[in-house]
C-alpha cells in the first residue's frame, strides 16, 4: 500500500474543513469520493522529447490507469448535477515506478494558498438551520480574495458532460520540464477528449440515472477505446507559475505530448480505489513549480488516505 510522510497541522485542518462541507464518509476519499478506474495505454507523440527526459513522454507507449470521479466528498452526489469531475492518470513507467497527472474540469483553482483554501472551506460550510451555504459568506471570501473570481465563474458555468469521455480536464498547476541538455521550461497540462466536448442541458442532466457516467463510459467502451489527447501549454517569461488561480494567455505555444486510449474497467476496482493519485508524484525530467497549493496537496491527500484506510 502507498506510504506517506508525517503531515502538517494545516493539512489536518483542511481535511476537517472538507468534512464539514461535504460530510465524512468512512472509507472514502475526502474529495472525489466516488470514482471508477480504467485500463489505458499512453502513446507519446515524441514532440515533448526535446523538452523533457520524462520516460513516458519519449517515444515508447506505456500502460496507464485512469480514475474518473465526481469532485464532491460525498459518494452520493448525482452525476447529473452541475459539479466538478476529475480525471487522474497514473503512468506506469518502464523502471517499475509511476508518475501521475491529476486533472479536473476547471481551468483554474479557487484559492492561491492552502490558508486561503481553508478560509474558503469555512465560507462554504452549510448553515445549520437552512442546510445551505450562505451566499454572503462566499461573496465576502471573493471580495477578500479577488483572484478567486475566475474560478467561481468557471464553477457557475461548469458543464454537465454527456460522458466522462466527452469532458475537458485541466491539471491547473505549472510543472517544470528539463531536457537532456539541462534546459528548463514551465508547462501546464490539459486533456482534450477525442470526440470533442459534449454536454447535457440542466433538464437532460436531471433526467439521467444517479450514477449514469460510469455506465455510459462502460457502454461506450464496448464500441472501442475512448481517447484523449494530452496538450501541453508552454510558459513564456513572466507567466505566473506559482498561482493556480491564474490562467496563462491563450496564445501561448502548445504541443501535443501524446494520446491516451482507455480500453476497459480495471479488473480490481477495490485495489485501485485504495490507491493515491498524487500530482506531486513526478519523475526525472519533471519538477514541481513553487505553487503552494500543488505542494500542499500531497499532505492533504496523506491525511485523507490515513482516514479512509482506517475506515474513518
Q: Is 198 helix (H, G, I), strand (E, B) or coil?
A: coil
Write down the residue that cell numbers 519533471 correspond to: 286
Contact between 124 and 133 under an 8 Å Cβ cutoff? The reply is yes
> Can you tell me the distance from the alpha carbon of 47 to that of 50, in angstroms, rounded to the nearest whole number?
7
In this structure, the dihedral spanned by the alpha carbons of residues 131, 134, 135 and 141, taken in order and rounded to 10 degrees, is: -130
> Can you tell me the distance from the alpha carbon of 248 to that of 164, in angstroms, rounded to the nearest whole number?
25
Q: Quick one: 284 exposed, middle or buried, by C-beta within 10 A (0-12, 13-18, 19+)? A: middle
Buried b (16+ CB within 10 A) or exposed e, 192-227: bbbeeeeebeeeebeebeebbbbebbeebbeeebbb
Provide the H-helix boundaries in 104-193.
114-124, 135-144, 149-156
Q: Which residues carry out catalysis?
A: 32
The grid cell for 249 is 494567455
> Can you tell me the distance from the alpha carbon of 278 to that of 256, in angstroms, rounded to the nearest whole number?
23
CB atoms closer than 10 angstroms to residue 62: 20
Q: Which of 233, 162, 230, 222 is nearest to 194 (CA)?
A: 230
Amino acid at each position: 500500500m502507498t506510504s506517506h510522510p508525517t503531515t502538517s497541522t494545516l493539512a489536518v485542518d483542511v481535511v476537517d474543513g472538507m468534512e464539514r462541507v461535504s460530510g465524512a464518509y468512512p472509507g472514502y476519499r475526502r474529495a472525489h469520493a466516488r470514482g471508477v478506474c480504467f485500463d489505458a495505454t499512453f502513446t507519446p507523440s515524441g514532440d515533448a522529447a526535446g523538452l523533457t527526459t520524462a520516460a513516458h513522454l519519449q517515444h515508447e507507449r506505456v500502460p496507464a490507469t485512469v480514475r474518473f470521479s465526481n469532485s464532491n466528498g460525498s459518494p452520493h452526489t448525482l452525476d447529473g448535477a452541475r459539479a466538478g469531475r476529475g480525471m487522474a492518470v497514473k503512468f506506469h513507467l518502464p523502471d517499475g515506478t509511476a508518475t501521475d497527472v491529476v486533472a479536473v474540469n476547471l481551468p483554474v483553482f479557487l484559492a492561491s494558498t492552502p490558508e486561503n483554501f481553508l478560509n474558503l472551506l469555512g465560507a462554504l460550510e452549510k448553515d445549520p438551520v437552512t442546510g445551505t451555504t450562505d451566499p454572503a459568506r462566499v461573496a465576502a471570501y471573493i471580495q477578500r480574495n479577488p483572484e478567486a473570481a475566475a474560478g467561481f465563474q468557471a464553477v457557475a458555468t461548469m458543464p454537465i458532460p454527456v460522458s466522462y469521455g466527452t469532458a475537458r480536464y485541466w491539471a491547473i498547476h505549472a510543472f517544470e520540464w528539463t531536457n537532456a541538455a539541462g534546459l528548463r521550461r514551465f508547462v501546464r497540462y490539459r486533456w482534450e477528449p477525442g470526440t470533442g466536448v459534449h454536454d447535457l442541458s440542466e433538464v437532460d442532466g436531471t433526467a439521467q440515472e444517479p450514477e449514469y457516467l460510469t455506465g455510459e463510459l462502460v457502454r461506450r467502451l464496448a464500441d472501442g477505446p475512448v481517447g484523449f489527447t494530452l496538450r501541453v501549454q508552454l510558459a513564456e517569461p513572466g507567466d505566473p507559475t506559482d498561482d493556480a488561480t491564474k490562467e496563462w494567455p491563450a496564445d501561448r505555444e502548445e504541443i501535443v505530448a501524446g494520446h491516451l486510449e482507455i480500453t476497459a474497467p480495471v479488473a480490481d476496482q477495490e485495489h485501485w480505489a485504495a490507491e493515491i493519485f498524487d500530482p506531486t508524484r513526478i519523475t526525472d525530467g519533471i519538477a514541481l513549480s513553487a505553487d503552494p497549493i500543488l505542494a500542499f496537496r500531497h499532505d492533504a491527500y496523506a491525511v485523507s488516505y490515513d482516514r479512509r484506510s482506517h475506515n474513518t
